[in-house]
Amino acid sequence: MSDETYRLKARIEVLEAEVEHLRDLLAPEWCAPSEFNTTRAHDRILSCLLKHDRPVRDEVLWKATRQNGDYSAIDASNVLKVQICHLRRKLQPFGMEVRNAHGKGYYLSPESRERLLNWNTGQTTQVAA
């Protein structure tokens, strides 16, 4: 085989690994309990936030929420902000919150992360009234 063939095969392997990594990032592996009344987009956002213990940038979250639309960067940012706002409203009655680290992205508070991960195990702590 020629050098070009080897180079192309190596590039294909790298791209396949990148695609697999992106699928892992975007796959909604976690679905919110029915009590939360979340949408599929909200579940994708929560799944993305649960995968990372650091703030997640808008671009990654937008990819997690995108629909079959062609949005400009400004539109995408606004759609994401609305989705986060709706999600915050749905989580608030359960004592959970999505926080914003200015310039870094969104993240779940440590308490919210723990409550979400333990929701169905009965190990969640009660919210003070």
> Does a structural domain hold residue 128?
no
The domain tally of the chain equals: 1
Compare 111 and 66 and report the one with higher pLDDT: 111
Mean pLDDT of 91-110: 92
Region label for 8, one of left (φ > 0), alpha (ψ between -120 and 50) or beta (otherwise): alpha
Q: What is the pLDDT of residue 70?
A: 56
> Does a structural domain hold residue 54?
yes
CATH number at residue 76: 1.10.10
pLDDT, tens only, 32-77: 888 999 988 888 888 888 888 888 887 677 766 665 455 565 566 7
Compare 129 and 37 and report the one with higher pLDDT: 37
Kindly state the greatest CA–CA separation across the chain: 70
pLDDT range class, residue 126, cuts 50, 70, 90: very low
> Does a structural domain hold residue 127?
no
> Does a structural domain hold residue 25?
yes
Task: Give me the domain span that covers residue 115.
Answer: 3-121
| Residue among 100, 55, 104, 103 at smallest CA distance from 81 | 100
Both tokens assigned to 69: 């639309």
> Does a structural domain hold residue 58?
yes
> Does a structural domain hold residue 56?
yes
**Average pLDDT value for the chain:** 79
